[in-house]
């Protein structure tokens, strides 16, 4: 949070937990309950996966183990 001078103070434990949760989620939506300016609960999180425009292999080739010749 920023105080009256605009200097950012250290994050609280709850704020750190929320940031870590969002980073692990990566992409999606989060609904958070806030009390007294602090996150208290994450009600629901919906993980979303963005599909790319680039072509992808439907059945990727499996790597065959190499035979060792002795």
What is the sign, positive or negative, of the torsion defined by CA atoms of 44, 50, 24, 58? Answer: positive
- Tally the C-alpha atoms within 13 A of residue 59's C-alpha that lie toward its C-beta: 0
pTM: 0.57
How many other β-carbons are positioned within 10 Å of the β-carbon of residue 57?
6
What are the boundaries of each domain within the chain? 1-51
CA distances from 50 to 28, 45, 55, 56 (A): 9, 16, 14, 14
Q: What is the pLDDT of residue 53?
A: 82
- What does the pLDDT look like over 53-65, one tens digit per residue? 888 777 767 776 7
Angle at CA 15, nearest 5°, toward 11 and 17? 120
Show pLDDT as tens, one digit a residue, over the chain (70 residues): 556 655 567 999 999 999 999 998 888 888 999 999 999 999 877 887 777 888 877 776 777 677 777 6
């Amino acid at each position: 949070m920023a105080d009256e001078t605009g200097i950012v103070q250290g994050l609280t434990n709850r704020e750190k937990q929320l940031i870590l949760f969002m980073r692990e989620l990566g992409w999606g939506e989060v609904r958070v309950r806030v009390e007294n300016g602090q996150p208290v609960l994450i009600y629901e999180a919906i993980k979303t996966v963005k599909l790319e425009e680039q072509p992808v292999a439907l059945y990727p080739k499996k790597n065959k183990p190499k035979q060792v010749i002795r």
